[in-house]
Structure 1
Amino acid sequence: MTATATAPGSVPVVRSTRRPWTALPAALRSAVEARLGSPVAAARSQSGGFSRGAASRLRCADGGRAFVKAVSLDGDPVSARLYEQEAAVAAALPGGLPVPAFRGLITEGGWTALLFDDVPGRTPSVPWRAADLDAVLPALTRLTAVAADRPAPGLSRWGGALADWVGWNHLLARGDALADVPSWARPHAERLAALEAGFPEAAYGDAVLHSDLRSDNILVRRGSVTFVDWAWAARGQDWIDPMIFALCAAVQGVADPDALFLRHPAARRADPEAVDALLAALAGRFTTAARQPTDWGTAPIRAFQRAEAATALHWLGRRRTWYPGAR
């Protein structure tokens, strides 16, 4: 199976070629059906996301529905660990969030599967359309408001290890030529390093964050919006999810991420210096991450990371008036 990220124009579309339900090991399918309490009568594969495992909407013989995603421990150990992480996160998420109900983690025959309620809906169109943005933004505003009031002590602080967020400082320390950085941004490398140093204080907060709000992690149906794939959930400033959403939306066709970001009330309350610190840290992290070795499975991830680095730099450059023509 091959994960692909096609690009109509310059807009990456996150899609994967996935194993169908019927191609999963019989023992795993039986374990899933036992958990569901009914045989699976029909299954429809889903293509969103970077994982190479199975992702199917299931309809059971008794009329019940569920969503399953499964991955082989041997074929994709990184995704398998993420599934285990997502299962732990599901147990730590507070109630009241617009998320699919979690039905459990199943390990069988070297495979790991996660079961959720099947939520009707589609992923937003890419490039993003105004109608989908108009549906998702109010839902994200509601999510932020609910998440700010729900304690979640089981979730880690947003950002993980500090070493992952000092990319510019590491590049400068070794005299890197920054050949993959836009020419206009290279003279500002020391400023970027100084900004990213403020990352820990800028990100610190207690709001529950999804942390990975790409289009393929959002389902829209008749104005109803559900946020899925919470493996990277954490606690931090309430404006971080709107920032991640605006960044990913800009990678996938939205012209002005700052304008999109500022449509969210949490963004309008945010400290501008803290916002710039996180943009600098994100740009540094994605710049260094995109340089990691690429194979048939990681090539789409590296391509998306390169696009995220360029977009974050462009956004920050306009905010700081570093970018040519910025006002």
Structure 2
Amino acid sequence: MSPHTGGAADAGIPLAHTVRRPWTDLPAEVRAAVEQRLGSRVTAAVDQTGGFSRGTAARLRCADGSRAFVKAVTREGDPFTVALAEREASVAAAFTPELGLPAPAFRGVVDQGGWLALLFDDIEGHIPAVPWRPDELALTLTALTALSERATPSPVPDLPVWGGALGEWHGWNRLLADEDPLADVPAWARRNSARLAAAEQWFPAATAGDTLLHSDLRSDNILVSGTEVTFVDWAWAARGQPWIDPMVFALCAAVQGHPDPQSVLLAHPAGRAADPAAVDSALAALAGRFVVSARQPATWQTAPVRAFQRAEAAACVRWLRARTGWS
């Protein structure tokens, strides 16, 4: 399924997209192992372009009429990408039907010929339009509310804490320690950089919690089918405060054209109940991380990621300025 851009390109809205290796380019032994796992020969494949990973992603149709979704990465490529695939497989295996989570059913792993392939049920649906339409935004928020309720406390054991290595979330502090001129950030952020650095230091305590989080709720990780919404791509699953997923979703919606992330956050019960200072701390930490990450060298492979990170940093700063009222 290709992203429905809804004029996003014309509006200058960054899209999560990449150049992927098509299904037909996978080694024959890998494709044969996938077919064996599915129990039927693959007769058609529709390659996907959403997201930032360069691994294979395709919707498959089999000779027996069944459908599946496959994600595959080579073990000879980026170790980080392989680690994410392995993590997603372990998380997906823990999503039993009894949990009733809005996630695709997992059909297993194929580890063959130097490739790791994850198999899921193929969800009949489409990626939401960006800029976000009010009806699809409302449906997604309803599904996210249900997810937060079912996922507190987290039904998946041994999930990492949201945020991972804390050093990656001290961007403002590192920039100030290096006496960075902050020439690439808005003037408001330069004036308030010390406040942002102080806010992000509270990040671990502000975000600690025991709710299962998706952590990466961009439009390309959401499928809408009628009134049903499914969240896909759980590689970044973690545990933390229940307002984190609504905050991340609101931020991504702002990056992709929504004018008011605060209203999106407050449309979720956990967002309304959140400690404002805790949300400010998380947004400050996100902004600092995105500023630092967006400065990394961009190749033709990573340029879309860097563009999205720059947009995320700018959206965080705009939102914080509106939330805090700092001079």
Query: Partner residue of 2:218?
Result: 214
Cα distance in 1, alignment partners of residues 74 and 213 from structure 2: 28
What is the aligned-residue RMSD (CA, Å)?
Answer: 1.5
User: Which residue matches 2:286?
Assistant: 282
Identify the residue that residue 307 of structure 2 maps to in structure 1: 303
1:56 match: secondary structure: strand
CA contact (8 A) 1:18 1:54 kept: yes
**Relative to structure 2, which stretch is displaced further, 42-51 or 304-313?**
42-51
Moved more, 286-295 or 194-203: 286-295
Distance (Å, rounded) in 2 between the aligned partners of 1:150 and 1:159:
16
Q: How does 1:7-18 map to 2 (within 5 A)?
A: 7-18=9-20
Look up the match of 2:28: 26
CA drift of 1:20 comes to 2.3
Shift of 1:321: 1.1
Spell out, residue by residue over 1:237-273, the C-alpha distance to the aligned partner (whole angstroms, 9 max, x if none): 0000000000000000000101111111100000000
* TM superposition shift of 1:149: 4.0
Task: Give the alignment of 1:35-184 within 5 angstroms.
Answer: 35-93=37-95, 95-184=99-188
C-alpha deviation, 1:150, in angstroms: 4.1
* 2:209 counterpart residue number: 205
Secondary structure in 2 aligned to 1:292? coil
Cα pair 1:279 1:312 within 8 Å, conserved: yes
Equivalents in 1 of 2:273, 2:218: separation in Å?
A: 23
Give, in whole Å, the separation in 2 of the partners of 1:19 and 1:169: 39
1:106-139 deviations in Å (ceiling 9; x for gaps): 2222222111111110100112111211211111
Q: Is the 8 A contact 1:283 1:313 kept in 2?
A: yes
* CA deviation map 1:146-187 (0-9, x unaligned): 111443222111110110111101111110000111012201
Percent identity, aligned pairs only, is 62
1:271 aligned onto 2:278: no
Moved more, 264-273 or 83-92: 83-92
Q: CA deviation at 1:52?
A: 1.4
- Counterparts of 1:69 and 1:189 in 2: how far apart (Å)? 41
Report the 3-state secondary structure (helix = DSSP H, G, I; strand = E; otherwise coil) of the residue aligned with 2:196: helix
SS for the counterpart of 2:252 is helix
Structure 2 SS opposite 1:11: coil
Letter in 2 for 1:307: A
What does the per-residue CA deviation read over 1:195-229, in whole Å, with 9 as the maximum and x for residues that have no partner? Answer: 00110010000000000000000000101000000
For residues 174 and 54 of structure 1, the distance between their equivalents in structure 2, rounded to whole angstroms, comes to 40
Partner of 1:259: 263
CA distance in 2 between counterparts of 1:7 and 1:286 reads: 22
Q: Report the residue type matching 1:41 in the other structure.
A: T
In structure 2, give the amino acid aligned to 1:155: L
Structure 1 residue ranges, 4+ long, deviating more than 6 angstroms after superposition: none
> Is 1:243 paired with 2:247?
yes
Give 1:294 deviation, angstroms.
Answer: 1.4
Report Cα offsets for 1:254-295 as digits up to 9, x if no partner: 001011111111000000000100010000111111111211
Question: Contact 1:52 / 1:76 at 8 angstroms: preserved in 2?
Answer: no
After superposing the two structures, state which structure 1 stretch, 30-39 or 102-111, moved more. Answer: 102-111
- Show CA shifts across 1:73-114 (max 9, x none): 334443222111111222344622111111122222222211
Cα distance in 2, alignment partners of residues 178 and 149 from structure 1: 40
